[in-house]
Structure 1
Amino acid sequence: MDTEERARRQAEAHRAATVLTGREVAAVALTFVDISGITRVKAVPIARLVHAATWGVGMSPVFDAFLSDDSIVAGRFAGGPVGDLRLFPDLTRLTVLAAQPGWAWAPVDRLAQDGSAHPLDQRSLARRQVARLADAGYTARMAFEIEWAAGVDRPDNDDFVPAVRGPAYGFTRVVEASDYLRDLANALAAQGIEAEQIHPEYAEGQFEVSVVAEDPVAAADTFVLTRETIRAVSQRHGLRASFSPKTVAGGVGNGGHVHLSLWADGRNAFADGEARYGMTEVASQFSAGILQHLPALLAVGTASAASYLRLIPQHWAGAFQAWGLENRETAVRFVTGSVGDQYRAANLEVKSFDESANPYLVVAGLIAAGLDGIGVGRDLPEPIEVDPAGLSDEERSARGIQSLPTSLTDVASAFEADDALTEAFGEQLATTIVEVRRAENARFANASDEDIAAAVRWKY
C-alpha cells in the first residue's frame, strides 16, 4: 500500500469518524468470516477508526484454522502461533447498526503487513475473481437468500423451542411475530439493505429474507450484515436466531441459496440469447461450469457436518448434480422470471449451499467455476423436468444424474482434486480449506444426527 493510498484512507476515515460521532456511535465492529463460516470480529472505538483505516488492526492468521467449536487445526499454512496480518475496514460499506445502538459495522480486507492481500483473505479472493470476470467482459449480480429459525431464548437451555406456532408460510406466524418482523424490516431499511421479501418459511419457527442482487462482493457483505442484523433484532425481542443447516435433526434445514446472473453491456446474458430458455451461449457455458464443479464447490458452500443432514433428496435442498427450469429438487435451478421481466429477473439459483458457508468463498468459487466453463466451452446437459429422486437408479444413470457428495470428507477430496478451483484459490487457501473440512468431519466421526444438530445449532 503506497503513501497516496494511506492518505486517501486517512481522509476518508476522518470524515466517517465525524459523521459517526454526530450519530452517537461509540465503536465500529470490524468483521471477517473464517473458513468454517463463523463471523469473527475486532472492534475499535471511534477515536481509533482513523488509525485502523490507515494502518490496520493486528490479527493472528490462526482464525483460518478454527473449527466451528473454536478448536484449531495445526495446518500447513495456518493454525500456529506465529505470524500476523492487518484488518483494514472497507469504509465504503460502513453502516450504523439500527439494532445495536451506539455501534457501526464495516467488513475488512485482511492484508499482509506490507499492504498486499494476505493469501488466506477470502474477501480479496472474491474481488480478484470479480476482476477476472471483468477481464472477460462480464459483470455478475448475486444475492443470498437468508433463512433462519427463530427460537425462544432460554439462557439455561440450548434446545430449540420455536418462537411461533403458526403453520408453514401461514399469516398466523406474521401475526404472532408482527412486532419482531416490523422491527427487522425497519432495521434493514435503516441500514440501506433492500429486502425484496420477508415471509414465514416451511420449518418450525422459520422465516426468510430475500434481498436485491448486487455486485458479488457487495452481496457477500450484505449477507453478513443481514444475518447479524437478524441476530440482533432477535435478541432484543427475547428470541434466538439459528442459521444452522439443521436446527433440529429430522427437521427441515436452513438453506443459503445463491442467485446469480451474468451481464455484458447492460444486458442480462441469461435472458438475451438463443440457447435453451433464452440463455446466451456464454451464460449456458458459465452455468455448465458451475454444475460441473459443484461437488468441489460444496467444500465452500456446505461447510458444516450439519450441512449433510440437510442435503438429502426430496427436501428441496438440491441433492442431485443436475439442473432444470424452475426445478427445486435439482442442485441448479434456472429461473426465467415473469414474461416481460426476463431481461431483469432471469438468473441461476444454486440450491445446495447453506449458511455455514463463507459467502466470500462462495462468490469466488462460483465465478471461478463459471469462468472455467466458458474457457473450455462446456455444454449444459439436458435439463431435468422431474424430481430426480423419483427416477430409478438406472434412469438417473442413463441421464447422467449423480448424487452430490454426502460428507465433508467427500467434498474436501473433490475440492482437492479440482485443478480449476485450487488454482483460483491459491495453494495456501485451498490447502487450508481441505484441512479444516477434514478436521470438522473427524470431530463428528461417531456423532448421531441429534448430536450434530445440537452441536452447531447456535454456532451459525
Structure 2
Amino acid sequence: MSKLDNIMEIVERNKIKFVRFIYVGLDGVLRAKSSYLDELEDHLIHGIGLTMAMQSFTALDTLLSEPRFGPESEDIFLVPDLETFSPITYVEGQGRVLCDMKLRNGEEWGFCTRSLLKKLSKRYKEELGIVFQSAAETEFYILKQTAPDKVEPIDWARCFSTVGYDALGDIILEIIDALKASGISVVRIIKEYGPGQVEINMKHRNILRAADDMVVLRDVAKGVAAKHGLVATFMAKPFDWHAGSGMHFHISGLDTETGKNVFYDKNDKKGLNLSRTAYYFIGGILHHMKSLSAIVAPTINSYKRLIPGSWAPSNICYGYNNRSAAIRIPTTRVGKEEKNIRIEFRTPDATANPYLALAATIAAGVHGIREEIDPAEPVNVDAYKLSKEERAKRNIELLPTSLREALEYLDRDDYLKSELGSELIEEYIKIKKVECESYEHYVSPWEIKNYVPVF
C-alpha cells in the first residue's frame, strides 16, 4: 500500500473531513490552509496554493509596508510531506500535515524555511559526513485568559510539585496522546518553575524531524488548551515576576559511516568527553551568538527572559552543566557517555520558527567546524555573578539586550546571510523591525503610572 493510500484509509477510518496544511511563516507564526475531504487526495499530491505575500507578513498580522511579496505576487504551493500526516485526536473530523513551499514547477522556493533546513542538512551530511540530531526541551504556560491583555495561572503549584501534576494532569495527558498519535516520542514531562508552566522533552531525531516535532507540539498544546477554555502560550516571558519559557536545543551528530556520536571523545583533556568537532561546533555558535539571537530569540518579549540571574542565559560562554551559560554540556550517566554526549543551546525560545532557528544554529556550528573556531575554556562558575572585569578576563561577552540590537548584529553577519539566503534574511529583518517599531511607539501602563503623577 502506498503512503497516499494509507493516509486515505486513515482519513476514512477516523472520519476526517478536512486536513490542515501547516507551514511556519518567517514571522514564526504557525499558519495553515485546509483541504476538504472531496479534494483531499488531489491536494495531498499537488498541494494547495498560497500567495507569496504570506512570507512578508508580520506576527502582528500585517503586510510589510514595503514587502518583497505583495498582492501582485503569484502563488506558491503548500506541498505536504506525507510522512507527517496524522489525525488530530482532540477535535473531531480533522487531520494535520506539515508542508514545504514549492514553486508551480515543483522546485523548492527559496523563502521556505523547512526546505532550507532540509537543504542544509543534506549539504552538511555530504560535506562533513555528519547527520546532525536534535531534540528540544520546550517550556510553555497553560493559563486562563481573563481579558484580551490579561492572563492568570490555572494553578500555583511549586516547582516540580506533585500537586502541579494533579492540577495539569488531564491536559498534559491529552497533549501527550495527541503527540503520540503524530508519531512523536515523549521522553519527559515536567511541572516547571512557573505557575501553570510545563516542560515537554521529545526524543532526539534528525534535525528536520526535530523541527517538525516542535511545530506539532505548538499546534497540539494550543489546541488542547483551547478545548478546555484555556490558552497555552510559548511566549518567552508572560510574567515579569516569574520564570520564562525556553526551547533548549540538544544537539549532537552521527558519523554517516559508523553511526557513532562525533561529539564524543573519551580522551578529552578538558574532562568533558567532547571531541574537537564538538568544541569547534560550540565555537561557531558562540562566534555568531549575537546575530543568532535575532533568529532563536525573535520577539521583543524574548529579551525579558534573557536577563542575569533568571536561569536563562545572558553570557556568551559554555560550561559543564552550567545553566548560567548559553551552551551547557549536560551531565551524563557513567557508562552512557558515548551515546548521550551532546550540547544544550539554551538561548532559543519557542516563539522562533523552528526550521529557521535550527538551520541558523547548525550553520553557525558548521562554520566553527570549517574554521576550527576555538570556544576557549569552559566556564564552570555562576556566570551571573562574574564582575565586568572577570568577564573581560575570560573574554565573555553579553547577549544583546533587545531584539533591535540583535537584528543589527544579524544584518552585519555575512556568513549567516550567505548560508541561510541573504534575501530571506533581509525580509526576516524587515518583518521583525515592524515589531520593534510597534513596541517602541506604544505608551505602556507603566509610563502612565509613573510619569503622569510626577511630571
Structure 1-normalised TM-score? 0.92
Query: 1:310 is matched by which residue type in structure 2?
Result: R
Residue 18 (structure 2) pairs with residue 23 (structure 1): no
Q: Decide whether aligned partners of structure 1 residues 72 and 403 sit closer, same or farther in structure 2, where only a CA change above 3 A counts.
A: same
Query: Helix, strand or coil: the match of 2:392?
Result: helix
In the alignment, what sits opposite 1:45? 36
Partners of 2:377 and 2:71 in 1: CA distance: 48
CA spacing shift, 1:60–1:338, aligned 2, 3 Å: same
CA distance in 2, matches of 1:451, 1:250: 15
- Between the aligned partners of 2:334 and 2:112, the Cα distance in structure 1 is 41
TM-aligned CA deviation for residue 380 of structure 1: 1.6
- Give 2:130's aligned residue: 138
The answer to whether residue 207 in structure 2 is matched with residue 212 in structure 1 is no
Report whether the alignment pairs 1:257 with 2:275.
no
| Equivalent position to 1:290, from 276, 285, 288 | 285
Mapping 1:359-398, distance limit 5 Å? 359-398=354-393
Q: Which amino acid aligns with 1:105?
A: R
Q: How many angstroms does 1:333 deviate by? A: 0.7
Q: Tell me what 1:430 maps to.
A: 425
- In the aligned structure 2, how far is the partner of 1:21 from the partner of 1:89? 19
1:237 aligns with 2:232: no
Contact residue 305 and residue 312 of structure 2 kept, 8 A: yes
* Aligned-pair CA distance for 1:69: 1.3
Aligned mates of 2:66, 2:338 — CA distance in 1: 46
CA offset digits 1:286-338 (Å, max 9, x no partner): 12111111111112101110001111111121111111110001111112411
Secondary structure of the corresponding residue to residue 267 of structure 1 = coil
Cross-structure match for 1:107: 98
Cα offset, 1:451, TM superposition: 8.3
Q: Distance in 1 between matches of 2:120 and 2:299?
A: 24
How far apart, in 1, do the equivalents of 2:89 and 2:446 lie?
35
> 169, 172, 177: which one pairs with 2:163?
172
In structure 2, the residue matched to 1:400 is 395
Distance in 1, matches of 2:70 and 2:296, equals 22
Question: Is the Cα contact below 8 Å between 1:12 and 1:91 reproduced in 2?
Answer: yes
Local SS of the residue matching 1:139: strand
Distance 1:380 1:45 in 2: 52
Is the 2:60–2:435 contact (alpha carbons within 8 Å) kept by the matching residues of 1?
Answer: no
Q: CA RMSD in A?
A: 2.0
Residue pair 1:130, 1:216 contacting (<8 A) in 2 also: yes
Separation in structure 1 between the aligned mates of residue 73 and residue 334 of structure 2, nearest angstrom: 57
SS of residue paired to 1:86? strand
The answer to whether residue 145 in structure 2 is matched with residue 150 in structure 1 is no
* Count of matched residue pairs: 442
Residue from 198, 203, 209 that aligns with 2:194: 203
- Partner in structure 1 of residue 172 of structure 2: 181
- The whole-number CA distance in structure 2 between the counterparts of 1:127 and 1:312 is 33
Tell me the distance in 1 between the aligned counterparts of 2:379 and 2:54: 41
What SS does structure 1 have at the residue aligned with 2:326?
Answer: strand
Q: Identify which of structures 1 and 2 has the higher relative contact order when contacts are C-alpha pairs closer than 8 Å and 6+ apart.
A: 1
Percent of pairs with identical residues:
28
Q: Is the 8 A contact 2:168 2:196 kept in 1?
A: no
Once residues 96 and 304 of structure 1 are traced to their aligned partners in structure 2, the CA distance between those partners, rounded to angstroms, is 31
- Conserved 8 A contact 1:248-1:450: no
The residue number in structure 1 matching 2:56 is 65
Residues 92 and 376 of structure 1: is their aligned pair in 2 closer, same or farther, counting only changes over 3 Å?
Answer: same
Cα distance between partner residues in 1 of 2:352 and 2:288? 16
Contact 1:99 1:233 (C-alpha < 8 Å) held by counterparts: yes
What is the SS of the residue equivalent to 2:77? strand
Deviations along 1:97-154, whole A, 9 cap, x unmatched?
A: 1112211111100011111111110000000110122111001110122211111254
Q: Report the Cα offset of residue 349 of structure 1.
A: 0.8
- Per the alignment, residue 413 of structure 1 pairs with 408
- 2:80 aligned residue: 89
Question: What is residue 444 of structure 1 aligned with on the other side?
Answer: 439
Please list, as runs of the form range in 1=range in 2, the aligned pairs for 1:320-335 lying within 5 A after superposition: 320-335=315-330
| Amino acid of the structure 1 residue aligned with 2:338 | Y
Give the distance between the partners of 1:103 and 1:384, measured in 2 at CA: 49
Distance 2:206 2:54 in 1: 26
Measure the CA separation in 2 of the matches of 1:67 and 1:235: 23
Native 8 Å contact 1:78 1:432 kept in 2: no
Distance, in Å, in 1 between the alignment partners of 2:293 and 2:119 is 20
Report the AA paired with residue 144 of structure 1.
A
Alignment map for 1:280-319 (pairs within 5 Å): 280-319=275-314
For 1:400, the aligned partner's letter is N
- In structure 2, the CA distance between the partners of 1:70 and 1:232, relative to structure 1 (3 Å rule), is same
Structure 1 position 266 matched with structure 2 position 259: yes
Moved more, 121-130 or 293-302: 293-302
Query: For structure 2, which runs of at least 5 residues remain unmatched after alignment?
Result: 448-455
Which whole-Å CA distance do the structure 1 matches of 2:266 and 2:398 have between them?
Answer: 30
Task: Report the TM-score, using the length of structure 2 for normalisation.
Answer: 0.93
- Aligned counterparts of 1:59 and 1:91: Cα–Cα separation in 2: 19
- Assess, with a 3 A threshold, how the Cα gap between structure 1 residues 310 and 343 changes in structure 2: closer, same or farther: same
C-alpha contact (below 8 Å) 2:26/2:56 kept by paired residues: yes
CA distance in 2, matches of 1:236, 1:87: 27
- Kept after mapping to 1: 8 A contact 2:134/2:251: yes
**Hey, which bits of structure 1, 4+ residues long, moved more than 6 A?**
448-452
Q: Alpha-carbon deviations, 1:409-430, whole Å to 9, x = none?
A: 2111211211221011112211
Contact 1:133 1:367 in 2 (8 A): no
The worse-fitting range, judged by mean Cα deviation, of 267-276 and 142-151 is 267-276
**Preserved contact between residue 58 and residue 86 of structure 1 (Cα < 8 Å):** yes
Aligned residue for 2:62, secondary structure, equals coil
1:143·1:214 contact (CA, 8 Å) conserved in 2?
yes
Conserved 8 A contact 1:149-1:205: yes
Query: Does the 8 Å contact 1:14/1:50 carry over to 2?
Result: no
2:450 equivalent in structure 1: none
Give 3-state SS (helix, strand or coil) of 2:332's partner.
coil
Give the Cα–Cα distance (whole angstroms) in 1 for the partners of residues 156 and 309 of structure 2. 24
Q: Report deviation, 1:182.
A: 2.6
Range 119-128 or range 221-230, more displaced: 221-230
